[in-house]
Amino acid sequence: MAGIGDVVLIHFKEEPSFFARIDSIEPDIKKDWFHVKLLILAIPFTTVTWILREEYLNGVPFTMEGNPLRIEPVRPLDPDLYDGEHKTDMPEKTRTAKGSKVIPFGKPKKDDRKGP
């Protein structure tokens, strides 16, 4: 189950829609229901409170106002997958195309500066 502090991906109408962070999970007056406070990670930040069952936090689809929703926990990347063997940098030989020329930036000369 996704818990407090976890980042989740919210699917709206079966499409990934936005990320949110779970800020709190409090029991509801109804048995097996919870008030889940979500910080929506979009600009502007928005906080919403949804009343959900535990299984909805485990990825079981549900509807809200007739719209299908699903909460999918976002798992952190495994740092062991990104060791020296799996670099994301381009290989040295592919960084510049053949026949291309690299022109270094230089400081402008006093005569080249324009202004008052």
- Over residues 26-81, the pLDDT tens digits come to 999 999 999 999 999 999 999 999 999 999 999 999 999 999 999 999 987 777 76
Contacts of 71 (CB under 8 A, 6+ apart): 2, 8, 9, 10, 11, 52, 56, 57, 59
Report whether 5 contacts 22 (CB < 8 A): yes
Percent of the chain with pLDDT over 70: 74
Percent of the chain with pLDDT over 90: 60
Q: For residue 93, which amino acid is it? A: K
Interatomic CA distance for residues 37 and 72, integer angstroms = 16
CA Rg, the chain, in Å? 25
When the pLDDT of each residue in the chain is averaged and rounded to a whole number, the result is 83
